[in-house]
Amino acid sequence: MKILLASSEVHPYSKTGGLADMVGALGKALARSGHEAGIVTPLYQGIHERFPALRRMDWQFNLPLGAQPVPAELWSLEVEKGLTIYFIDQPGFYQRAGIYLENHVSYPDNAERFIFFSKCVANLARYLPWRPDVVHVNDWQAGLVPALMLHQRRGEGWGNPPPVCLTIHNLAYQGIFPAAAFTLTNLPEEFFTIEGAEFYKQLNCLKAGIAFADVITTVSPRYAREITTEEFGCGLDGLLRRRQDRLFGILNGVDHEEWNPLHDPFLKHPYSAARLAGKRKNKIELQKEMGLPVAADAPLFGTITRLAEQKGVDIQLGALEEMLSADIQFVLLGSGSVAFERGYHALSRRFPSQVAVQIGYDEGLSHRIEAGCDFYIMPSRFEPSGLNQMYSLRYGTIPIVRAVGGLDDSVIDFSQNAARANGIKFREYSARALAQAVRKALALYQQPGLLRRYRQNAMKTDFSWDQTVDEYLKIYQIAEKINSGQDWRTAGHGP
Ligand code: ADP
Ligand code: GLC
């Protein structure tokens, strides 16, 4: 099949979180299984310098944003056979220090920036000479693409547009703007209703995507169920329930080329399930790097995260406070909310020989933390898929997770399957419950035989993209059937 993907971030060109990893890996996996994939994304500051092979294409955008025509150029990069990245070059919008924000403040023109991006995606979907069979957009930044395409089908003579699949990576970010921003879409008012893009008199880009896409996916089966409930629905659960027959959950895969402890350029000591000695050496390197006392036998816990409400930072700070009376070490790499950053700094000042905190974004260090720690803590309030717990499993670092969303779908607790257990789960959202899970981890640490079995189980858990790609291909076929008005449920593709 020929698939056009669109995402506001794509690894290795731009990244603030798992969205970039997922889209980058999906494009690669599609190409490697014999399909043709293009990924559209903005040309942010620094990409051109890091990837000099970018080629300018003979393509001029001049698309209206309300009354204002906005020009842009198109650059492309042939990554490998079957995979091309298309970069939208609009310097006024994208050549900035951040992707969505700077100094903790969102750019005031994010509506313009991403409505324009969505318009470029719809334009490419229509005019790219290789004619995609399906368009796969991600998150609110590309959420208006289905409506823009539908409008061109209804009103501008686009005879046979491909179907659109929308993937929700995080329902908490919807792209909500004042109603006036709707004029930037140049869509007729019929799209701005409570059945469509309107949300309490405001423009909601993700809601428009959910309303007009042919199929909707999210990044784990459990999260697909959760978001149809009031508790996790972020105000959109009603719409999602109405569209539940086209809502599917597919757990993200792991890019084994990027995340493989045996071939990881960021590690000094390669290791594998069969040869675990390297893991211990990486632990010592990490303790040195983070300025902690070198203590090969002290249990080392770690977290790499956006410091946001979603990630359970408040209960993690609370649990650590309690657990640091035990002989444990903890490392954190993260950035985000200033209050949370201060919280961790305060902890490291009080427990300098046990807690090391690095605020910022550091890809290499994120790999070394995955490799060097004994346990990985991820106590999210909600977690659509989560990737770090899967990277941890791959690196033999036992994840301690709250049983929600993709965390529940990817980790096996002793209580679920004693023989295959690879992590520790807790349910209640509280510091007390997390501290209890950390105590279980300490008990496990005291039993080297059992710990070794957990590690072996973890490292052989298969999150390869081969299987995930097959699931997306099935969804694309369903989208094609829906788009052409066929009854897809009788065609043997149940959700
Ligand atoms: P989310 O997308 O909600 O942030 P995920 O677990 O899906 O959560 O993915 C997070 C990704 O971002 C992982 O690849 C993780 O290693 C990376 N990451 C998050 N914070 C940092 C950081 N401060 N430095 C380096 N990588 C980070
Ligand atoms: C979002 C979610 C995260 C998921 C990622 C990639 O950022 O918060 O759970 O893994 O998208 O799909």
193 Cβ contact list (under 8 Å, min separation 6): none
The answer, yes or no, to whether any atom of ligand 2 lies below 6 A from the CB of 146, is no
DSSP state of 428: S
List, for the chain, all residue ranges whose pLDDT scores fall below the cut of 70. Answer: 490-495
Question: pLDDT for 261-272, tens place per residue?
Answer: 999 999 999 999
Ligand 1 mean position, distance from CA 232 (Å)? 21
- For position 495, what pLDDT does the model report? 46
Do 374 and 425 fall within a single domain? yes
- For position 490, what pLDDT does the model report? 58
Domain count, the chain: 2
Do 242 and 295 fall within a single domain? no
Do 37 and 112 fall within a single domain? yes
Do 213 and 355 fall within a single domain? no
- Terminal C-alpha separation, the chain: 20
Measuring CA to CA, which residue among 444, 441, 386 is closest to residue 410? 386
Do 293 and 432 fall within a single domain? yes
Please report whether residue 264 resides in a domain.
Answer: no
Q: Considering just the CA atoms, what is the radius of gyration of the chain in Å?
A: 23
Print burial letters for 463-491: b (CB count within 10 Å at least 16), e (below 16): bebeebbeebbebbbbbbbbbeeeebeee
- For position 141, what pLDDT does the model report? 98
Please report whether residue 495 resides in a domain.
Answer: no
Taking each continuous run of H as one helix and of E as one strand, the counts in the chain are 17, 20
CATH of the domain at 17: 3.40.50.2000
**Residue numbers of the domain that contains 360:** 277-460
Alpha-carbon torsion angle 234, 303, 323, 440, nearest 10: 80
Pairing mode, strands 134-138 and 375-378: unpaired
Q: Is 158 exposed, middle or buried (0-12, 13-18, 19+ CB in 10 A)?
A: middle
Q: Looking at the CA of 366, which ligand is closest? A: 1
Q: Looking at the CA of 407, which ligand is closest? A: 2
Do 220 and 358 fall within a single domain? no
- For position 156, what pLDDT does the model report? 85
* pTM to 2 decimal places: 0.97
Do 391 and 344 fall within a single domain? yes
Question: pLDDT for 348-357, tens place per residue?
Answer: 999 999 999 9
Ligand 1 mean position, distance from CA 154 (Å)? 40
Please give the full DSSP string across 75-99, using - where no structure is assigned. EEEEEETTEEEEEEE-HHHH-SS-S
Please report whether residue 52 resides in a domain.
Answer: yes
The answer, yes or no, to whether any atom of ligand 2 lies below 6 A from the CB of 385, is yes
Handedness of CA 209, 212, 217, 218 (dihedral sign): positive
CA distance 139 to 100: 13
Please report whether residue 263 resides in a domain.
Answer: no
Please report whether residue 272 resides in a domain.
Answer: no
Do 98 and 240 fall within a single domain? yes
Ligand 1 mean position, distance from CA 195 (Å)? 34
